[in-house]
């Protein structure tokens, strides 16, 4: 990346080309579609308007009942423009095809563009298939080629998934709530701030086509670039609206976000987008939300968190105090903060209540902070969470998993800008994962010293897999290189780091810097010769070079410099402490000259003793302009010459000159010693002043940090107060509901008492009783009617299985026990009749009805049933049976023909033997005749009279007889016989009292 202070443009291509001029992408675009209630209509509208040659693949996840046999493929393929198929496990994806997830499966894709179906047999607490899981897998596998679409449905499934897609640079679309049958899912996704387009289902195909055809920027060409003044103007608008400075963020990331918004708005020129940004405040919000896309999850990178668990456990075992302070910087929606809280609870176990655990979780995204405070997550968000953690640290609330209060109480969420806000201090752990990857090198080198200052000695720093400590090897030591866990090294007294934010802020870009013309390139041959000369000069003449910063600290040394000596005592990089004492005064004077504007300063040669040899040494100093993340530097070249190599000055009076020179040298040495003493005293005073200043700075930093903590605590208190007010309102409503429920309960109790009274009276009148048999508790409960039925007292008789069987007539006991066994094994549902003794020790007949409740293992748990005294019914039935037998006997042995005719079926239901003897017809033969054939058996002259006769009987009353004489054709002789019939109503409908059948008797009359 070029330095923006010197390069007036960004290296981002701006050339517009048509899609047809590009080679077709080898990467398959995958579109995930999520829907629930009302989603079928939206899906039908969408698939009917999809482009046929988009080279996209569509995967549909619609919430379905696990036992429902889906007809989705058949319903969608009728009007679809693309092939619609049911998804199969490990099936490779292909373009221009729509895959439908089967019921009771979660559907995902892998990096090889294959479908992964997962069947869950455990209890469900969220709808399946999970739209979140589908979208997250597409985001991971496809990155910028991922697209997510949310259609009609209830709940919030898919909102987390579109955040993952946006985090990877993908595209998100939601159905307009006005066109959705159920707007829960679209509204939830829109409110998350991660939706790019809101359209009706039938318009989605057009928008996807526009997305493909929209002019792209060719990544390989950089002739045309975005003007820096436009880029800076966008950042200024963001800073003015949200007080966040994105200057030191990676420019490529910011430009990609700007381009995404341009694609959504179909704006091809960045100047036009800047104008649009100025005219639409809502667009600033959309762009800001795009900048803040954060992808996080519980135990993201499980191995790293295992290593953190081990290192943190070891750290806490050696910690003296029982205060644990953690800072999770860039916490996003809170999963990482809660993960660390759960790890601390696991480490401390039952002793956690003895510790004061404070986890400060901060982010600049207000929406994410508000979401994190709730501590509620969908089932898909917990897919990487160990099952034991899910059961131990979560409760289920409204189909979502909520962090338990003891863990939630340890985490304090606050809005906090890592770049400009004071840090939290005295920390045992800082977790800043996948945040610094969005910062440029200069900002990273400002943040890491802040972390070192905020951590306790040996405190832990936990970074993301793509992050490292860089040049700060002395401040941190690696504990786990693979997990990116570091310990803060003790470097003596801590000094608040200078953030040096003024080196690059948004205001530096107000003036447009003119592009500096480049010099003509040298030929390859000349360039190589120049490199050879430079390499040789570096190896011979620039061997004793030292770089020092503005604090006179050595930051780099080249070659083995004989003038650098390591002083005794506490190690230091101060140049005055490490340089040969004879040159300290000259160095200080030279640095003063540089500060006064002199470009190059050279000191005079001084005689110094090195390794028992006198040599001559001098210093040459020059300044190096400000470097990103380092500041202004000074280059010191140390030139050392032997006495024999120095030129001699000849004089006529050499002896006098020699004596004079020695005297001058002695006086000079004495003056230098005195000057050195004064300098050392001044340095001591200066160090004391500097120490006091550092202490003041440190105190000020701690005050700022304490103020930040107080503000954070205040935010939490405000949030808690709001929760308390909400809880109070809910409690009041609950109290009112309780009063209403109490009244309702009293009313129900009165109704229950009345019902019990009616039941008891009904049992008494109906001679019935009810009972309940609990097989788990081995208890049998009787109603008062049951006690009354068997003539036992509820005070003396205790119902049990054995006692009940004892009341049964001995000959029926085995049959009853067999019937109960069949009931308990679900082999019968019939009632059972048995004999028992009543209160007068008389035998009575009892009918037993029972209903058995079974567990999911098909084991009988409870039996509910009734007893009914059916003695009278049995006796009546016996009497009726006896009478029926007598009547049957009389009818069969009567000399007359007797029949019973059913008006409803128009068939005979009984004929006796003499009927067949007189007419020649059996009942079966008669019933096989059609109505026309049967009526044809009557003499044509008598037919009308017969029909009139039957009508009279049908309209008659019970016991009223009607006589008729008619002729009937004999089956065998085919001759008419004259019959004299007497007919009456035999049976009537008990409700309408209309005749159901008639009874007739006849005998043959001789003509």
What is d(CA 88, CA 100) in angstroms, rounded to the nearest whole number?
9
8 A C-beta contact, residue 454 and residue 480: no
Write down the H helix ranges in 14-146. 39-47, 72-77, 131-142
Phi, psi of 170, deg, nearest 5:
-80, -165
Token pair for 278: 């100025």
8 A C-beta contact, residue 2 and residue 226: no
- Residue of 547, 591, 595, 543 lying closest to 573 (CA atoms): 547
Token pair for 199: 């359209």
What is d(CA 556, CA 548) in angstroms, rounded to the nearest whole number?
7
Looking up tokens 């499980």, which residue turns up? 302
Q: What is each CA distance from 608 to 542, 581, 584, 586, 711, in whole angstroms?
A: 20, 9, 12, 13, 59
Token pair for 873: 């019914």
Let me know if 21 is a catalytic residue: no
Using CA of residue 860, residue 865, residue 867, residue 868, what is the dihedral sign?
negative
Question: Which residue(s) pair with 898 in the sheet?
Answer: 1001
Q: What is each CA distance from 345 to 307, 326, 355, 390, 548, in whole angstroms?
A: 16, 13, 10, 14, 47
**Residue of 36, 380, 584, 997 with catalytic role:** 36
Using N-to-C axis directions, what is the helix angle for 251-265 and 270-279, rounded to 10°? 80
What is d(CA 242, CA 288) in angstroms, rounded to the nearest whole number?
8
Let me know if 36 is a catalytic residue: yes
DSSP-assigned letter for residue 936 = T
8 A C-beta contact, residue 235 and residue 251: no
What is the distance in angstroms between the CA of the first residue and the CA of the last residue of the chain?
131
What is d(CA 980, CA 796) in angstroms, rounded to the nearest whole number?
70
What is d(CA 53, CA 936) in angstroms, rounded to the nearest whole number?
77
Query: How far from the centroid of its chain's Cα atoms is residue 974's Cα?
Result: 90
**Residue of 126, 130, 152, 157 with catalytic role:** 157
Looking up tokens 């640095």, which residue turns up? 591
What is d(CA 429, CA 460) in angstroms, rounded to the nearest whole number?
5
What is d(CA 771, CA 469) in angstroms, rounded to the nearest whole number?
76
8 A C-beta contact, residue 431 and residue 479: no
**Residue of 63, 416, 452, 819 with catalytic role:** 63
- Residue of 778, 788, 792, 762 lying closest to 863 (CA atoms): 778
- Residue of 447, 446, 512, 499 lying closest to 5 (CA atoms): 512
What is d(CA 494, CA 498) in angstroms, rounded to the nearest whole number?
12
Residue 364: is the preceding peptide bond cis (ω within 30°)? Answer: no
What is d(CA 364, CA 649) in angstroms, rounded to the nearest whole number?
71
Using CA of residue 591, residue 592, residue 595, residue 596, what is the dihedral sign?
negative
Let me know if 130 is a catalytic residue: no
Using N-to-C axis directions, what is the helix angle for 228-242 and 251-265, rounded to 10°? 90
Residues 85, 90, 92, 97, Cα dihedral to 10°: 20
For residue 795, the SS3 value is: coil
DSSP-assigned letter for residue 579 = B
For residue 627, the SS3 value is: strand
Token pair for 1001: 């008797």
Q: What is each CA distance from 390 to 9, 105, 107, 179, 298, in whole angstroms?
A: 51, 21, 22, 38, 11
Residues 6+ apart with CB under 8 A from 830: none
Q: Please identify every residue annotated as catalytic.
A: 36, 63, 157
């Amino acid at each position: 990346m070029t330095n923006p202070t010197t390069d007036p443009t960004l290296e981002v291509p701006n050339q517009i080309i048509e899609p047809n001029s590009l080679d077709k992408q080898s990467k398959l675009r995958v579109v995930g579609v999520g829907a629930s209630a009302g989603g079928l209509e939206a899906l039908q509208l969408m698939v009917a308007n999809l482009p046929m040659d988009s080279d996209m693949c569509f995967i549909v996840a619609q919430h379905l009942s696990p036992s429902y046999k889906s007809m989705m493929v058949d319903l969608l393929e009728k009007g679809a423009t693309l092939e619609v198929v049911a998804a199969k496990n490990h099936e490779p994806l292909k373009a221009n095809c729509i895959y439908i997830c089967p019921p009771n499966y979660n559907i995902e894709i892998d990096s090889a563009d294959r479908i992964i179906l997962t069947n869950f047999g455990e209890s469900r607490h969220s709808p399946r298939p999970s739209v979140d899981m589908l979208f997250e897998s597409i985001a991971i596998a496809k990155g910028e080629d991922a697209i997510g679409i949310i259609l009609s449905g209830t709940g919030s499934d898919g909102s987390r998934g579109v955040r993952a897609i946006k985090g990877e640079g993908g595209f998100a679309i939601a159905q307009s709530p006005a066109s959705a049958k159920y707007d829960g899912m679209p509204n939830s996704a829109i409110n998350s701030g991660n939706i790019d387009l809101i359209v009706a289902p039938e318009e989605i195909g057009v928008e996807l086509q526009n997305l493909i055809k929209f002019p792209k920027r060719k990544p390989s060409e950089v002739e045309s670039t975005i003007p820096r003044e436009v880029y800076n103007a966008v950042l200024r608008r963001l800073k003015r609206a949200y007080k966040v400075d994105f200057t030191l963020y990676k420019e490529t990331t910011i430009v990609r976000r700007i381009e995404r918004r341009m694609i959504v708005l179909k704006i091809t020129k960045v100047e036009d987008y800047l104008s649009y940004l100025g005219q639409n405040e809502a667009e600033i919000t959309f762009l800001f939300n795009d900048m803040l896309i954060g992808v996080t999850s519980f135990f993201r990178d499980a191995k790293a968190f295992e290593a953190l668990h081990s290192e943190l456990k070891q750290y806490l075992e050696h910690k003296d105090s029982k205060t644990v302070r953690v800072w999770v910087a860039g916490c996003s929606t809170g999963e990482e903060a809660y993960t660390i809280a759960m790890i601390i609870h696991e480490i401390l176990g039952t002793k956690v209540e003895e510790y004061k655990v404070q986890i400060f979780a901060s982010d600049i995204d207000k929406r994410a902070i508000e979401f994190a405070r709730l501590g509620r997550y969908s089932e898909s968000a917990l897919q990487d969470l160990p099952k034991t953690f899910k059961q131990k640290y979560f409760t289920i609330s409204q189909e979502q998993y909520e962090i338990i209060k003891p863990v939630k109480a340890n985490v304090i969420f606050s809005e906090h800008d890592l770049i400009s806000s004071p840090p939290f201090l005295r920390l045992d752990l800082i977790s800043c994962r996948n945040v610094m990857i969005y910062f440029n090198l200069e900002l990273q080198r400002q943040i890491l010293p802040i972390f070192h200052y905020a951590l306790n000695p040996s405190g832990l720093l936990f970074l993301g897999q793509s992050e490292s400590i860089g040049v700060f090897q002395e401040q941190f030591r690696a504990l786990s290189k693979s997990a990116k866990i570091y310990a803060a090294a003790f470097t003596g007294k801590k000094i608040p780091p200078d953030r040096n934010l003024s080196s690059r802020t948004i205001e530096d870009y107000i003036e447009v810097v003119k592009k500096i013309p480049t010099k003509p390139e040298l030929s390859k041959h000349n360039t190589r010769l120049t490199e050879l000369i430079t390499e040789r000069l570096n190896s011979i003449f620039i061997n004793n070079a030292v770089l020092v910063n503005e604090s006179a600290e050595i930051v780099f040394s080249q070659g083995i410099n004989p003038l650098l000596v390591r002083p005794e005592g506490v190690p230091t990089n101060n140049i005055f402490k490490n340089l040969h004492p004879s040159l300290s005064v000259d160095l200080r004077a030279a640095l003063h000259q540089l500060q006064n504007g002199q470009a190059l300063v050279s000191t005079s040669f001084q005689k110094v003793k090195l390794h028992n040899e006198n040599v001559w040494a001098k210093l040459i100093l020059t300044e190096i302009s400000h470097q990103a993340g380092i500041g202004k530097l000074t280059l010191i070249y140390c030139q050392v010459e032997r006495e024999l190599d120095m030129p001699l000055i000849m004089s006529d009076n050499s002896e006098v000159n020699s004596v004079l020179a020695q005297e001058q040298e002695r006086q000079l040495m004495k003056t230098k010693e005195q000057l050195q003493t004064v300098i050392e005293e001044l340095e001591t005073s200066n160090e004391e002043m500097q120490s006091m200043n550092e202490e003041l700075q440190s105190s000020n930093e701690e005050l700022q940090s304490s103020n930040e903590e107080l503000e954070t605590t205040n935010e939490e208190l405000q949030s808690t107060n709001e929760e308390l007010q909400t809880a109070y309102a809910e409690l009041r409503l609950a109290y009112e509901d309780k009063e209403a429920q109490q009244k309702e309960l009293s009313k129900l109790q009165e109704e229950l008492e009345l019902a019990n009274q009616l039941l008891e009276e009904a049992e008494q009148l109906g001679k019935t009783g009810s009972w309940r048999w609990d097989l788990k508790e081995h208890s049998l409960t009787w109603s008062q009617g049951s006690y009354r039925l068997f003539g036992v007292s509820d005070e003396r008789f205790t119902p049990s299985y054995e006692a009940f069987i004892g009341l049964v007539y001995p000959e029926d006991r085995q049959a009853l026990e067999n019937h109960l066994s069949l009931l308990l094994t679900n082999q019968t549902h019939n009632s059972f009749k048995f004999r028992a003794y009543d209160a007068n020790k008389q035998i009575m007949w009892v009918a037993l009805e029972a209903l058995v409740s079974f567990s999911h293992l098909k084991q009988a748990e409870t039996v509910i049933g009734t007893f009914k005294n059916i003695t009278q019914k049995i006796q009546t039935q016996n009497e009726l049976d006896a009478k029926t037998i007598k009547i049957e006997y009389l009818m069969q042995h009567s000399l007359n023909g007797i029949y019973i005719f059913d008006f409803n079926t128009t068939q005979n239901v009984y004929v006796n033997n003499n009927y067949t003897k007189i007419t020649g017809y059996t009942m079966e033969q008669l019933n096989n005749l059609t109505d026309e054939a049967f009526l044809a058996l009557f003499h044509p002259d008598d037919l009308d009279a017969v029909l009139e006769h039957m009508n009279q009987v049908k309209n008659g009353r019970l016991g009223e007889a009607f006589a008729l004489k008619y002729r009937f054709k004999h089956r065998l002789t085919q001759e008419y016989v004259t019959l004299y019939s007497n007919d009456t109503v035999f049976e009537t409908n008990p409700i309408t009292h209309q005749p159901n059948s008639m009874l007739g008797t006849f005998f043959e009359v001789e003509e």
